[in-house]
Every structure is written in C-alpha cells, then in structure tokens.
Amino acid sequence: MQETDGRQAGGTAAWEQPVSLRSFWMGGFEGADHLDPQCRPLDMASAHGHLAQLEDDYARAAAAGLQTVRESIGWRLCEPRPGVFDLARPLRMARCARRHGLQILWTVMHYGTPPDVDLRDDALIDRFAAFAAAVAQALGGQGAEPPIYTLVNEISFLSWAVAHTNMLGAYQGAQERRPSTRASGYEVKRRLVRATLAAAEAVRRIDPQARFLQVEPLVHVVAPAGRPELAPLAAQVAAYQWQAWDLLAGLAEPGLGGGPGMLDLLGVNHYHSGQWEVETEQRLWWHARDPRRRGLDMLLHDAWQRYGRPLLVAETSHVGAGRAAWLGDVACQALRARAAGVPLLGLCLYPLVDRPDWNDASAWHHSGLWDVAPAPAARAPFERVLHRPYARALALWQQRLPEPAAAPEPPTLAVFSHRPWDPLQHRTLHLMTELAVDHRIVFIEPPVPGEGPARLLRSCPWPGVEVLQPLLPGASDGFDGAPPPAMAALLAPEIVPGALAWACTPLALPLLRALRLCPAVYDCAEGPPVGALAPRWRLQQARLLRGAAQVCAAGPALARALARQRPGVQSLFQAVDAAHFTPAAVAPGGSEAQEAARLLGGLVGPVLCHVGRISAHVNLALLAAIADARPHWQLVLIGPVALPVDTPLPQRPNLHWLGAQPYSLLPALLARVQLGLLAWHRDAHTALAHPPQLLEFLAAGKPVVSVPLPDVHDLYAAVVDTAEDAAGFVQACEAALQREGVHDLHRHARIQAMLARCSWERRAQTVRALLQAAAAGAAA
C-alpha cells in the first residue's frame, strides 16, 4: 500500500532521499503559456524559437556545462479539450534531452490553464490533478533520475497576479484592485495550494519516486525613508512570501492536507526587482547599490532556517550589460550561503535563451546567456548570439561553485582604490581581475556618506574579488572625507594579517596607517588634482613615495615626474583588452549591436567619437568649434559627466552626449564610428596623463586624432595624428577620414605589435613580480 507522500509501507519516503541533480549550474527556458492583458495566448517556448531549435539549444546547454535544465509543459497548451491530453511536446523535449545527456526539471503549470478552467473556481483542483496524473504517466521513466516536478510555478505570484493586477487577460476586472502589495489574493493562493496537493497525490500514485520542486520568489520589503511607522506593515508584506510554503507544509491551515513531504525541494526565484518599499512600491535597485537591500545569502538562510529543506535558485538573471556582474554577485552570495551551512544544490540561469516581453513581442529583455538576433540581422529565424561577458563570467564561476578546486589559501591583496568598481572598467579593475587568479582581492572603494550606523556594502563582481564600500554617517565622499579610525574599525576584520596593501591614491595613506599596513605598491595613474585638495594630495603623495615598497606609473611622463622624488619608479603603463575591442568580437545580432544601432543608427555623416569621463580635462570649446566647423560631422561623446553643476555642456545639432555606457557596449558603439577623438586641454595636469582610450580606439581599428600630449608623442606618434587647435583638428580629422578604407599594411602591423605588448595580462605579470619583491622586502 502506498501513502500519498510517496512512502512505501515500512520504507523511507522519496522526499527524505537526497535529490539527484546532474549539475549545480542549470539553465531554464522561458515557457509561460497564459493569456496576456489583451487576451492573446502566449507560447513563450515558441516565441524565442526554442521548440524550433530544441536540438541546438540542448547541445549549447550541454557544451556550457549546464546538464540540468528547466522546461515548462504548459497546461493550456497540452489539454486542447477537457480531458484530452496532448503531451507530444514534453515527450519530444524528454527524448531530445536524453540524446544530449541532460536532465529536465519539469514545470507542469506555468500560469496558463485550459479556457474552461478558472483559478477562482474549485473545479480547478480535480482538473489539474487529472492533468498532472497524465503528465506523470507519460514522462515517468523518460530520464535516468526520478522526475522532478514543479506543479504550479510561483503560487504566490500567480495568486497576486490573478487577484490584484491586469497581467493575466482572463482575469481583468474580475476582482477588486488595490494599489499596493498590501492585498495578497489569499483565497486564490489557498486554492492553488489545494490543487498542488491533489496533483502531488495523483502523481505519487503513478510514480512514488517522483520529486517536487516548490518554486516561490524570495523578497525583501522595507519602510520608506522617514516612515518608520510603516515598518510593521513592511514586515507583514514580506511575510506573505512564506504563505504558500507554509500551507503546503501544513504549518498553516493543516486542514488543507499539507505536510512536510510537500516541501521536498525549495526553489527560490531571485531578481533585482524583488526588493521594495511598502506603499510607495519603489524598488531597492541593485544597480544603484541601495544599502537597504538584503543579500541572497541572507534570504536563502531565512528559508533554510524556517523549513530545513534543501534549496536551489530556480530563476535568476539580469538585463542587458548587467548580466555578468549580477551573476558574480549571485554566485558570491551562493558561496557564502553554502559556507554558512545552507544546503544550496543548484543555481539556474533563467532564461538561458533571451525572451520577448509577455506584453510586447517586439521588446526583448536581453537577459539570456544567448541573445536572439532580430530578423533583419539574423541569418536564420531566432539565431542565437552568445553574450560573451556573461559566458566568461559563468565559466569562471563554474570553477568555484559548487566546490572550488583544491588549492592553498591565496595571499590577500587589499586595494585602496580612488574609483569605485564599476562598469567603466578602469585601470585598477583590469589589473585586479587578472591578479584574482592567484590572489584574494579585497577592493576597498572610497567611502560615501550613509544613514544609520557605519557599515560595509559588499559585492563580488568577479571570482576572487570582494568589493567593500564603506558607508559612514556624517562623512563626505572620498578617503579625505572620512575619519581614518572609523574606517579602520570597519575594515580591520576584513584584512587578514600579512595582507599586502595596494594604494591607488595618496589620500588613502592615513587609513593604511590606521590599519597598520605598509603599502606594498603605490600605483600612480594620474597627476595631482586641481583645486583645494591639491596641497593635501601632494603632501600625502610625498609620504607615500617614501613609504611604499614599490611605485608604479601609468605612463612615461608621470614616471619621469615621480622619479624626481623617488628613484626606481616602475613602468606599468596603460594597457588594453584588445580581444574585447576587435571588430570581430561584435556579434551583428547581439544585444550590444542592437543597442548601438538604437543609439547611433540614425546619425547621418561621419561619426567622430570621444570616450571617457567628461571632466575638467576635456576641452569643451574645442569640441564645439569642431562641430561648428563641420556641421555634417556627428560628434558622439560617451562617458559620465563629472563637471561642476554650473558648467554647461555645449549644445549643437551634431553634438550627441550619450552619458556613461557599459564597457561591454563600447566595441559595438566604436564599430559604428569612423574616428576617435582626444580633445583635451593642454595643461600641467594633462601633461602627465596617459589616455587609455587611445589603445581602445586602435584595438577597434579606428584612426585617432589627439592633442599633442607628452605620452601621445612618446608612445603613439607613429600611429596617432595630433593637432594643436580647432583648425588643426579639423584638418587632421579630414585627412584621417580620407584614409578610411585604405589598408596600410605597415601601419596595421605596428598597431598589432603595440597591442600585443600592451595587454593587461602582461601588465599583471609585471605586478606579480613587484608584489613578490615587496613581500620579500617585508620579510627581510
């Protein structure tokens, strides 16, 4: 005799056995099948071409090391008439997966229902149980492992969507709407739980070894700033996330029939929008580093403490250029959760292939490991384009999760950076991603003012790198605006004894002394600042030059200036990731190419481009003069504006200020321009500068016109045109544009040789030697 939890008489229930998953890293294919707000039926597995390219999609997943995938069966799609089941689609998926060595985790109901089924009617319960039984009958034995089913995807979300939104076309206007998440659709939730319990019993009658993955979002809700009286309401709303699991487990309303066997395996969905303010519904955005966010590790720990069941991250992804950084943050927190004892069994990238929006088939989310090329750019319908930064991040994290390779504890390098770790990919960031292969990098950003007690915001954007952003009440931005003792108290527990210190700014020296760290390396990337901060900066630099074991300079002019104060300055000049910028790296149908076309596709005439921060060193008058002299040229300025608020940007029809753009987008943008510009002022500050943009332009195959800075003359005179003033700039740009399309083999060879010498990998080799020398000197 069988019991409904899968237990054989006198035996152990299936849910008490270890869960068998082929890989920790997984991928999911979007498969929602409900009616959209216009009552149009969705079939998302067809919308992104997955059904048409099943063999290729599975082959790609297997090649990427994703041996477990999530698929949706689709109740609406597989019961065309009441009691008539057509399961040819999931059977085809199962057979194809077998051929590619993949395990499928099945979602039985992904929001959609047959047209005669209403989620507000108890008739749902028996109908769904019958469908689930048919699924179990058809799919049992199709895989090597016991099947794993998510019977109803996201009960909490679905019940809320039915009761309180217009997201599902079948339920528009049917019930009272409320403007916030205060109402939860509890009655719909109870009915969906009852349907899940009935379906689980039906499945277990057919296949006692079947396992169940109960998937729900994990969220965090806070009171708005200045509204502490709303904290109890925020806690109440946050507690709604446990209702479905509590009902399934019998912890709430045990009369529904729930029990511990229903929480076989917990799946948690984690997205950047899953944390918000109560009542205002304002999101605590991840990309904005909202300090009120809770880490995934803490959310996972909450679920583990509450239920004591193994978990997996069933869905997670970010959009656009943030995909790789989001993966790093999620993976780092997964490591943290596992280290704290949370039995996290897997992490699923969802979606694996990009998906269109539910409500607008022309709007794609750009959230997959593979983009889908739009029809005009694609060689075939639904062509897949690998998102290279995301794929690279995945490959690196697969080496650390679930278990890192056995290796001795790497040395710790504490980096005191003058800039945050951000998508602009500055010099220090490049160096540290290379050094993270054999070091533990603790990257300390300049402190910023914060509310409440002093604390650290943590992130992990790269394997082996932990970024710490100090938040200090009453402080101003930067190391010069924060008291060293308060900073040292925060950071001391994070820096192990014997750590080497890397200083990027002299203003961090008082903090290093408060931490009793001797600077191993002072890496000087620029000359002194302009303004009131300059005297203090110079004083601290003089002390740092005397105390650092090694001193590096980012360019020859800066090295000569430093050598007058400190002999033995090392040349660690700017470098470039040439493979990132080469035109061959730009996939025509990828999301970056699509975004570049959106930003620049309408420009008519030659496009000249400036890349980098728009700060005091940029000659705005020169840019305006060039624009006026040649109105048919289009001048595109890419970079964040870092000017005083009262400094106006020149406005012309052919001047285009794009603001900061992600590093991953730059190659696609540069592919659409004809010429790179370095229109800087010539003054004492820029005389020491070594512009990294020059190498990036050259790697992208673009000619460059620059002001005659010393480093440009010393290093790039053979391949970069220079000009003193607006007239000279226009003349040099015209000459460079006339050469466009003329392949100069000799010049090309010189540029390629230069790029080969100027790789970040080679710079990192130099740094390793410097660190070894500094460590040896400290030990002597």
Distance of CA 331 to the CA centre of its chain: 10
Q: What are phi and psi of 742, to 5 degrees?
A: -90, 120
Q: What is the DSSP string of 688-712?
A: G---THHHHHHHTT--EEE---HHH
Number of H helices, E strands in the chain: 26, 27
CA distances from 355 to 39, 48, 368, 371 (A): 19, 6, 8, 8
Polymer length in residues for the chain:
780
Q: How confident is the model at residue 184, as a pLDDT?
A: 52
440 in Cβ contact with 410 (< 8 Å): yes
DSSP 686: G
* Token representation of residue 605: 């005439």
Distance between CA atoms of 559 and 665, rounded to whole angstroms? 32
> What's the burial of 584, exposed, middle or buried (CB within 10 Å: 0-12/13-18/19+)?
exposed
Q: Is the pTM of this model over 0.85?
A: yes
Q: How confident is the model at residue 245, as a pLDDT?
A: 98
> What's the burial of 264, exposed, middle or buried (CB within 10 Å: 0-12/13-18/19+)?
buried
Q: How confident is the model at residue 141, as a pLDDT?
A: 84
Q: Tell how strand 370-372 and strand 384-386 pair up.
A: antiparallel
Q: Tell how strand 311-316 and strand 275-277 pair up.
A: unpaired
Distance between CA atoms of 44 and 107, rounded to whole angstroms? 13
Q: How confident is the model at residue 740, as a pLDDT?
A: 73
* Token representation of residue 339: 């280290």
3-state secondary structure of 658: strand
770 in Cβ contact with 742 (< 8 Å): no
Q: How confident is the model at residue 3, as a pLDDT?
A: 38
Report residues of the chain scoring pLDDT below 70: 1-11, 173-184, 377, 423, 741, 779-780
* Token representation of residue 511: 């903090």
Peptide bond into 402 cis (omega under 30): yes
Q: What are phi and psi of 148, to 5 degrees?
A: -120, 120
> What's the burial of 381, exposed, middle or buried (CB within 10 Å: 0-12/13-18/19+)?
exposed
Amino acid sitting at position 77? L
* Token representation of residue 564: 């007058």
- pLDDT tens-digit series, residues 434-477: 999 999 999 999 998 888 888 999 999 899 999 999 998 877 77
* Token representation of residue 428: 């220090």
Q: What domains can you pick out in the chain, each with its CATH number? A: 26-398 (3.20.20.80), 412-575 (3.40.50.2000), 578-758 (3.40.50.2000)
- pLDDT tens-digit series, residues 292-303: 999 999 999 999
82 in Cβ contact with 123 (< 8 Å): no
Q: For residues 765-776, b (16+ Cβ closer than 10 Å) or e, as one string?
A: eebeebbeebee
